[in-house]
Structure 1
Amino acid sequence: MSNTAVSNNQLTVVDRQGAIHDLEWEPDQTMMEALRDNDLPILASCGGTASCATCHVFLEQEVFDTLAERSEDELELLVEAESYRECGSRLSCQVGFSRDLDGATVTLAPED
């Protein structure tokens, strides 16, 4: 039996002032939890239940394209946000940990 531990992903986050933060994303976290737990200004009012848009982020196109489609609930919340982008906008609470996202760059959306 292999004794391979699941390691963390690295994320690069651009905050609302343009400052860059490198952080670790642990396998048991959503992206929102990784952002919040690293003291980035993500309000996450609903606690990750996709019933608000206070964890809105922009993902690079190549990262966005690797994720599952947004649910109707997520898309409904996003399109109401002033900063919504057809390609790139996601609720970070709906983005689960994935090896494919190691090294991804995430930009915090402006607060509406």
Structure 2
Amino acid sequence: MPKIVFVSSDGSEETVAVDAGTSIMSAAQQHGIEGIVADCGGSCSCATCHVYVEQELADRFDPVGQFEDELLDTTACERLCNSRLSCQLVMGDHVDGVRVEIPESQM
């Protein structure tokens, strides 16, 4: 099972193991990770599951699509080069151990 390290805005970390094929957003919800609101439930239409993906593994995920790119311009916290919507990040062995930082606010 691939693992995700969630880093909250206060610097605390929580590591969770998930089934391959699970989105990072779904993993956060399943494990009670604070800070990922996911108002739209993962349909890539709200930008409230914004995260910063560690640079080392960021390129192993599918590239940013058009809708995600547009939504990333509307996030509550600053969009950075490693900003992604966690609903669009699907876990697998190729990204095992990925660290994602949760911004201070989603709204």
Query: TM-score, normalized by length of structure 1?
Result: 0.86
* Fraction of identical pairs, as percent: 33
> Gapped runs of 5+ residues in structure 2?
none
Find the residue that maps to 1:74 and give its secondary structure.
helix
Give the counterpart of 2:7 among 7, 14, 19. 14
| Number of residue pairs the alignment of both structures matches | 104
Query: TM-score, normalized by length of structure 2?
Result: 0.89
Measured after TM superposition, the shift of residue 61 of structure 1 is 1.0
Give the counterpart of 2:85 among 87, 91, 111. 91
> Gapped runs of 5+ residues in structure 1?
1-7
Q: Please say if 1:33 is aligned against 2:26.
A: yes
Measured after TM superposition, the shift of residue 110 of structure 1 is 2.3
**Does the aligned pair in 1 maintain the 2:61–2:95 contact within 8 Å?**
no
Q: Which residue does 1:61 correspond to in 2? A: 55
C-alpha distance in 2 between matches for 1:10 and 1:46 = 24
**Does the aligned pair in 2 maintain the 1:9–1:102 contact within 8 Å?**
yes
**Cα shift readout 1:54-112 (whole Å, capped 9, x = no counterpart):** 11000111211222221111011112223211x21100000112211101111112214
Measured after TM superposition, the shift of residue 28 of structure 1 is 3.9
Larger C-alpha radius of gyration, 1 or 2? Answer: 1
Poorly superposed stretches of 4+, deviation over 4 Å: none
Q: Which residue does 1:50 correspond to in 2? A: 44
| Greater RCO (Cα-Cα under 8 Å, separation 6 or more) | 2
Find the residue that maps to 1:49 and give its secondary structure.
coil
C-alpha RMSD over aligned residues: 1.2
